[in-house]
């Protein structure tokens, strides 16, 4: 079945393209895009190795980039699409940004924010998990298989 | 009583100097320094307004800067001194950095990471709170009084 234009799956495919860029650069393959009014205003992928910086997760860069794009630091009207469930750091950053919607692909049972029994995200943020999850898992598995 | 050289209070005073820089720039006054072998390798203060970026907390910038200074992204041999208890985002970033020791001044009963009933920091990270807490609270109170 074709993916509908501007659906969650549509934007998740764009996040997966970013994850592929990370994969190609030998980075843990996680990608993110931020969308406002159906327009992608920020794209980023994990760069922790290249930047030698544990804070350089896809989401962190996307938040900074989106704030630049809209000229304001709050992202209430935006949605973020991330190929992997955000970690606690990224969820904390998303909370500060007051982002409207968080959509992620694969769950992260070890490092994902949802393992914490406390609302880390902003109370008004809508969360949807599991969008194109198998595609996201596939690229992560391929990466870690290559590393072994 | 004079403050002992290279004690936690000594380095916290340096973090407070950074907080003062934030205050002077009309930013929420939080400062941080990262120390390795009694040498300050990173200094930073909150810049969320100037950079228009919710991720520009003192700790986040200090982590990035310290990793640059030592040429490696893990900070196991380092200590961070922060005038205010880190938020969830910053605690998550400190966890990824595997930092050896976290020393903070004032507690943050609303946004601090310790309100979360789950170990956010790395299991091996030593945590000390309440160092020069009243000095840290004072500058924060002065800031919010000015804003009202």
Size of interface A-B (CB pairs under 8 A): 91
* φ/ψ bin of B61: left (φ > 0), alpha (ψ from -120 to 50), beta (otherwise): alpha
pLDDT-derived band at B118, boundaries 50, 70, 90: confident
pLDDT tens string A107-135: 999 999 998 877 899 999 999 999 999 99
**Model pLDDT for residues A41-75, shown as the tens digit of each residue:** 999 999 999 999 999 999 999 999 999 999 999 99
Cα–Cα distance between B68 and A52 in angstroms, integer? 7
* Torsion angles phi and psi, residue B60, rounded to 5: -60, -45
A85 is a catalytic site residue: no
Active-site residue (options: A9, A14, A49, A59): A59
> At residue B1, does pLDDT exceed 80?
no
Task: Tell how far CA B27 is from the center of its chain.
Answer: 15
Residue A128 to residues A64, A81, A133, B11, B24: CA-CA distances in angstroms?
22, 10, 11, 43, 41
| Per-residue pLDDT, A98 | 98
Chain A: residue whose CA lies nearest to B74: A54
DSSP assigned state of B73: S
Provide the Cα torsion B50, B51, B56, B61; round to 10°. -100
pLDDT at A116: 86
Inter-chain touch A92–B89, beta carbons under 8 Å: yes
Closest CA to A87 of A69, A60, A67, A122: A60
- Per-residue pLDDT, B147: 86
pLDDT, position B119:
82
Q: Is the complex ipTM more than 0.90?
A: yes
Largest CA distance in chain A: 43
Interface contact flag, B68 A87, Cβ < 8 Å: no
Sheet holding B78-84, edge to edge: B39-45, B31-36, B78-84, B101-106, B126-128
Q: How many other C-beta atoms are found inside a 10 Å radius of the C-beta of residue A74?
A: 16
Backbone angles phi, psi at B40, to 5 degrees: -80, 115
* pLDDT for the residue B24: 97
> Rounded to whole angstroms, how far apart are CA atoms B24 and A87?
33
Query: Nearest C-alpha of chain B: how many angstroms from A17?
Result: 24
């Amino acid at each position: 079945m074709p993916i509908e234009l501007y659906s969650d799956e549509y934007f998740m495919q764009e996040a997966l393209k970013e994850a592929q860029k990370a994969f190609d650069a030998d980075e843990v393959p996680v990608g993110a895009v931020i969308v406002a009014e159906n327009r992608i205003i920020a794209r980023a992928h994990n760069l922790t190795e290249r930047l030698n910086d544990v804070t350089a997760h896809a989401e962190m860069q996307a938040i900074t980039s989106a704030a630049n794009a809209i000229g304001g630091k709050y992202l209430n009207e935006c949605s973020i699409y991330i190929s992997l469930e955000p970690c606690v750091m990224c969820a904390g950053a998303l909370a500060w940004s007051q982002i409207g919607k968080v959509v992620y692909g694969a769950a992260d049972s070890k490092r994902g924010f949802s393992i914490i029994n406390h609302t880390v995200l902003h109370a008004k943020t809508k969360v949807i998990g599991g969008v194109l999850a198998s595609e996201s898992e596939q690229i992560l598995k391929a990466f870690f298989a290559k590393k072994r």
